[in-house]
């Protein structure tokens, strides 16, 4: 097929040409002085994306590695961990915690909303012996398109006076949806390279707090590759304890530069506008947005329910074959029931218009019942110059 593929899954996202050019450079000696200068530059500016003045650790790994790093650095065998099952990614983090020998406890949801801060508060109040060592929340649940209110979770924990750490997965929200590691008192923020950061997959991150670092000094789950202490010590001289993803770090420096040039507030506003335009189209098609709480609608993706009797994967296949566009599939219990439109990362009005056009034409070709006019409604919204809040 001629022209560019439309990669409209909610991660990996489209990598801008400027980042591709930065990555396309000779690999340098990762123990040499030029490399140390690059590391220092990244470690100085990257924390701004997390809105933190604490260290951010970089792993040569997918986001799953940073999930594991958060748990093994701060916790000990059999520790209780409170997790909110907002969808498939929260559920995967739960299973990872189980495999590591932790005792995760779940607050279930219907997979159509964010984490319930009041339920977290209640569980913590019941835990008078302070056996729960960490509360884990996925900020933006990529399987459902629901964003949790992390500030509300922090306030709920504070009201109980419970000492549990707060760990937040921002893999599909960082650099797309407002996030404040320090202000919201998060102890470990987990992030990945291939979503809002606009990089290829392969890097992931832990932003930490002084409390998390102090806890890590005596936590006893086995850890080697993921150990924070070794990484922090090496970072102090601009290095890493093992070979870092050199070329992805060139890309990371450029990604951070691009985000700070645009300004984080503008980045968030851009995502909010594209998300609202997408929802405008979905409503006009007469289809249902999976997330039930308007205050929790995700600005990085929209999950759309298929009408009864129609298979979302068949629809996605039609769109791929006719228009060379990838849409996100339904994950876990949502398999075949939803498709997901990614509208995050390096994205603009015309890319969104193309994406929504592909969806609307796909609905027609696949014989899905829908109302004509979603694309027009989205274009009208984009052209109106209005934006959410
Ligand atoms: C993509 C994603 C992950 C998984 O990250 P990998 O890079 O595939 O390991 C975890 N959590 C959320 C919220 C995600 O969107």
Note whether 339 and 327 are within 8 A (CB): yes
Q: Which atom of ligand 1 is nearest to the CA of 92?
A: 10
Note whether residue 189 is domain-resident: yes
Q: What mean pLDDT is predicted for residues 59-82?
A: 98
Contacts of residue 269, Cβ cutoff 8 Å, sequence gap at least 6? 387
Tens digits of residue pLDDT in 127-155: 999 999 999 999 999 999 999 999 999 99
Do residue 202 and residue 345 come from a single domain? no
Task: Give the closest residue to 6 by CA, choosing from 303, 343, 287, 370.
Answer: 343
Q: Is 257 helix (H, G, I), strand (E, B) or coil?
A: helix
Tens digits of residue pLDDT in 308-319: 999 999 999 999
CA torsion through residues 98, 104, 109, 112, sign: negative
Residue closest by Cα to atom 4 of ligand 1: 63
Helix axes 349-365, 264-285, angle to 10 degrees: 20
Q: What mean pLDDT is predicted for residues 117-123?
A: 98
Note whether 195 and 12 are within 8 A (CB): yes
Regarding pTM above 0.95, the answer is yes
Note whether residue 171 is domain-resident: yes
Do residue 174 and residue 31 come from a single domain? yes
Task: Give the closest residue to 6 by CA, choosing from 299, 329, 347, 376.
Answer: 347
Tens digits of residue pLDDT in 77-116: 999 999 999 999 999 999 999 999 999 999 999 999 999 9
pLDDT value, residue 1: 85
pLDDT value, residue 386: 86
Kindly report the CA angle at 149 between 147 and 154, in degrees rounded to 5? 145
pLDDT value, residue 75: 98
Note whether residue 1 is domain-resident: no
Note whether residue 314 is domain-resident: yes
Tens digits of residue pLDDT in 166-196: 999 999 999 999 999 999 999 999 999 999 9
User: Containing H/E element for 107?
Assistant: strand 103-108
Domain that holds residue 361: 6-12+263-384
The rounded percent of the chain whose pLDDT value lies above 90 is 98
Q: Which two tokens stand for residue 261?
A: 């040039």
Q: Given pLDDT bands bounded at 50, 70 and 90, which one contains residue 371?
A: very high
Note whether residue 389 is domain-resident: no
Cβ neighbours, 10 Å, residue 159: 12
Query: Using CA atoms, how far apart are residues 47 and 53, in angstroms rounded to an integer?
Result: 6
Kindly report the CA angle at 89 between 161 and 301, in degrees rounded to 5? 105
C-alpha 330 – ligand 1 centre gap (Å): 14
Query: Using CA atoms, how far apart are residues 378 and 384, in angstroms rounded to an integer?
Result: 10
Note whether residue 81 is domain-resident: yes
Query: Using CA atoms, how far apart are residues 89 and 94, in angstroms rounded to an integer?
Result: 9
C-alpha 204 – ligand 1 centre gap (Å): 10
pLDDT value, residue 389: 67
Query: Using CA atoms, how far apart are residues 85 and 360, in angstroms rounded to an integer?
Result: 32
Query: Using CA atoms, how far apart are residues 265 and 7, in angstroms rounded to an integer?
Result: 25
> Is any ligand 1 atom within 6 A of the Cβ of residue 138?
yes
| Average predicted confidence (pLDDT) for the chain | 98
Q: Given pLDDT bands bounded at 50, 70 and 90, which one contains residue 283?
A: very high
Do residue 355 and residue 250 come from a single domain? no
Do residue 159 and residue 175 come from a single domain? yes
CATH number at residue 188: 3.40.640.10
> Is any ligand 1 atom within 6 A of the Cβ of residue 169?
yes
Total domains, the chain: 2
What is the length of the chain? 389
Q: Which atom of ligand 1 is nearest to the CA of 142?
A: 15
Instruction: Look at residues 261, 285, 306 and tell me which one is the last residue of a structural domain.
Output: 261
pLDDT value, residue 297: 98
Instruction: Look at residues 233, 261, 289 and tell me which one is the last residue of a structural domain.
Output: 261
Do residue 276 and residue 195 come from a single domain? no
165-169 and 146-147: which strand pairing? unpaired
Do residue 126 and residue 200 come from a single domain? yes
Do residue 288 and residue 145 come from a single domain? no
Query: Using CA atoms, how far apart are residues 80 and 132, in angstroms rounded to an integer?
Result: 5
Do residue 255 and residue 299 come from a single domain? no
C-alpha 167 – ligand 1 centre gap (Å): 15
Task: Give the closest residue to 93 by CA, choosing from 338, 332, 334.
Answer: 332
Do residue 307 and residue 224 come from a single domain? no
CATH number at residue 353: 3.90.1150.10
The rounded percent of the chain whose pLDDT value lies above 70 is 100
pLDDT value, residue 284: 98
Note whether 81 and 117 are within 8 A (CB): no
Do residue 242 and residue 286 come from a single domain? no
pLDDT value, residue 342: 98
Note whether 12 and 203 are within 8 A (CB): no
Residue closest by Cα to atom 5 of ligand 1: 63
Do residue 152 and residue 220 come from a single domain? yes
For 70, 154, 156, 166, 188, the CA distances from 185, given in Å and listed in that order, are 15, 7, 12, 8, 9
Instruction: Look at residues 261, 285, 315 and tell me which one is the last residue of a structural domain.
Output: 261
Note whether 197 and 175 are within 8 A (CB): yes
C-alpha 336 – ligand 1 centre gap (Å): 20
Note whether residue 170 is domain-resident: yes
pLDDT value, residue 280: 98
Task: Give the closest residue to 318 by CA, choosing from 269, 375, 365.
Answer: 365
Do residue 256 and residue 299 come from a single domain? no
Tens digits of residue pLDDT in 317-351: 999 999 999 999 999 999 999 999 999 999 999 99
């Amino acid at each position: 097929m001629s022209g560019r593929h439309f990669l409209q899954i909610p991660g990996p996202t489209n990598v801008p040409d400027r980042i591709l050019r930065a990555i396309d450079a000779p690999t340098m000696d990762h123990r040499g002085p030029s490399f140390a200068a690059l590391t220092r530059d990244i470690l100085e500016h990257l924390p701004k994306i997390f809105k933190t003045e604490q260290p951010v650790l970089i792993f040569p790994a997918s986001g799953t590695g940073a999930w594991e790093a958060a748990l093994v650095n701060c916790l000990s065998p059999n520790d209780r961990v409170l997790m909110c099952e907002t969808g498939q990614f929260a559920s995967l983090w739960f299973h990872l915690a189980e495999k590591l020998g932790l005792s995760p406890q779940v607050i279930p949801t219907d997979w159509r909303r964010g984490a319930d801060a009041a339920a977290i508060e209640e569980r913590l109040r019941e835990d008078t012996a302070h056996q729960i060592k960490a509360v884990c929340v996925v900020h933006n649940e990529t399987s459902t398109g629901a964003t949790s209110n992390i500030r509300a979770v922090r306030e709920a924990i504070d009201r109980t006076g419970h000492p549990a750490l707060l760990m937040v997965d921002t893999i599909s929200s960082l650099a797309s949806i407002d996030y404040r590691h320090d202000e919201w008192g998060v102890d470990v923020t987990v992030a990945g390279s291939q979503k809002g950061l606009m990089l290829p997959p392969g890097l992931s991150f832990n932003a930490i707090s002084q409390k998390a670092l102090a806890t890590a000094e005596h936590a006893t789950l086995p850890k080697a590759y993921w150990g924070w202490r070794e990484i922090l010590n090496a970072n102090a001289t601009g290095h890493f304890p093992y070979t870092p993803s050199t070329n992805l770090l060139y890309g990371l420096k450029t990604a951070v530069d691009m985000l700070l040039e645009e300004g984080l507030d503008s980045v968030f506003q851009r995502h909010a506008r594209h998300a609202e335009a997408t929802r405008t189209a979905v409503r006009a098609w007469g289809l249902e947005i999976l997330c039930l709480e308007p205050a929790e609608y995700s600005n990085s993706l929209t999950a759309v329910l298929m009408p009864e009797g129609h298979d979302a994967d068949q629809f996605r296949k039609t769109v791929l074959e006719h228009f060379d566009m990838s849409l996100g599939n339904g994950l876990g219990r949502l398999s075949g029931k939803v498709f997901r439109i990614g509208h995050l990362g390096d994205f603009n009005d015309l890319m969104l218009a193309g994406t929504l056009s592909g969806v609307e034409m796909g609905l027609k070709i696949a014989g899905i019942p829908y109302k004509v006019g979603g694309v027009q409604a989205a274009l009208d919204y984009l052209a109106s110059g209005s934006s959410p809040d």
